[in-house]
Each structure stands twice: as structure tokens, then as C-alpha cells.
Structure 1
Amino acid sequence: MTTPFVAVLMGSDSDLPVMQSTLDVLSSFDIHFEVKVTSAHRTPAATHAYVTDAEERGCKVFICAAGLAAHLAGAVAGITTRPVIGVPIDAGPLQGHDALLSTVMMPGGVPVAAVAIGKAGAKNAGYLAAQLLAIGDDAMAERVKADRQKNAEAVIAKDAALQEKLGR
């Protein structure tokens, strides 16, 4: 039996500083992942071959990061029926707005889930992948719930500290 994993694809190695947030989240949930630099435009055959092979080996979710024209997520979605999450990278003269539009403007029947531009989106891509995996994995669902509770408790603690500082 193969171990389910998430494939994290980047259009360029320059996307890694942003996508490190994705890898950190996946690691925090003990989710196996692979990371690959591949391009919808410059290496389309290699992208197709990797996606097909990864799906056969047990990939459950693809996370694709790209800036500018940002066609990687759409190209991957055209190859697989697994969930694809697109992360628009904040690059170029439009600071990722072009990448966001390229990611979300998919034709009907070929969906790509899009997250926010940049590091916040990269982090949320990891969380969304965990939530998708949790649909069929009760242990993962509990880890996701526990993480959400931990985040809520951190906000409550910060508010309590603020109120104490203000003397309230």
C-alpha cells in the first residue's frame, strides 16, 4: 500500500521562500509531501508525466504555486481529477493580482481552489490540503480540529494579555 501524499509544485525555485509556509503546515500535520519545480509553459511534458506518475503513486492533493501568468494549477487540473489548490505568488509588476486571476478563471468542469496571494495563501494551501485529507481520515480530522482550537486559544490569550495591560 502506498502512503498518501501531497504534491507541491512550483513554477520556479524562487517560489520556495513563499511556499515554505505550505511545507511547514504539511509537516506540522505529519502529511507526507513531495516538492517539485516544473513549468506549465517551459516543461509541459515533464509536468504531465509527473502529475500522472504522482497520482498513480498515491498523491491525493496537488498544490501549485506560480506567479505572473500562473498557469501551473490550471495545467495540472487539466491532467488530474484530484483536488488542485492554486497559490498565486506575489511577483511581477502586478504583485500577484495577475496570478490570482489566472488561477481562479478556470473553465467550468476543471476546478482549481484558489487561496490568497503570497505567504498567507501558501499557509492556507497547507491547511486546505489537510482538511481535504481529513475527509477520509478521522485521525487527521482530529489533528485539524486540535490545531484550530490551539489557534483560537492563542487569540484568547493575546486578548487577555491586552486587557490586563490596559487594566481592564
Structure 2
Amino acid sequence: MSSIYDFSAKSLAGEDVPLRRFEGQVLLIVNTASACGFTPQYKGLEELQQKYGDRGFSVLGFPCNQFGAQEKGSEAEIAQFCSRNYGVTFPMFSKIDVNGAQAHPLYAYLKGEKGGLLGSAIKWNFTKFLVDRSGRVVSRHAPTTTPESLAKDIESLL
């Protein structure tokens, strides 16, 4: 596979979503969790979605329970949590693994394109991958990187 557009993922509602649906957009792909110290980043992610969504940008959220079991809820519970607490409007997908033998193929691809400081494995929730309009993974950002701090990078790709 040569770009992120060759993958698909299930939405929280169970719909199979081809990522080709986002072709031509700048994307911020994030593994999320509802009970993490970084969970308040949902607010910043939604602010980016609101600020840049009409210019061809989207956040894509991928809940993951691999780090401290911080995403125990069902898909319906995750959707309700994100909507109720953070007003999330960006696409959220079904819970996935991002590391190991059962890692979602999209995450295997993302990690292969941009490794982290200590190798390719995702170290924690809210690791972020910035993707340009052609589907190329431009950068990878640690969980400690706030969504707001990525605004200039996003603007440069829009």
C-alpha cells in the first residue's frame, strides 16, 4: 500500500469507512482514550477541526485500549463521552490496537512512515500523525504535543 487512502476503518457506528473518503484533505490522525491524562486534548483537537475543517482539514480519532486500559468503553459509550464532554464532530473510529500483532494496518503503515524517538512503536495515547493532501505522512508528534501547537504546521499544508 502506498498511501493512507488505501486503508479503511470502521466508524464508531460500525460503518466501513474507506480513508479515500478523505483524499485531498490534510489529516491529523490520533490514537485516543477517554480516561487518560491527555484526554482533555479532545478540546484542542475539536478546536482545530472547527478552525480548519472548511479548508480541507480533518482530525481522525482512533480509540485504543492498549495503554493503561484507558479506553474500556464500548463504541456507543466512546461516542457519547466524546460528544457530551468535548462536542467532538470529527470522525471517530472503532477501538483498535496500534501496536503488536493485532495492530490496525493503518497504524502499521503510519509507524513505518514515521518512527518515534525510541523506534516505531506508539508509546501512549494521543500520539499524532500529520498527513498532507497527497496522503504523505509529514510528521509524528508525541502525546505531550498539544493540538494547538500544530496549528502552524496544519496551516502550512492547507
Tell me the TM-score range normalised by the shorter chain: 0.3 to 0.5
Taking structure 2 as the reference length, the TM-score comes to 0.36
Greater helix content: 1
Taking structure 1 as the reference length, the TM-score comes to 0.35
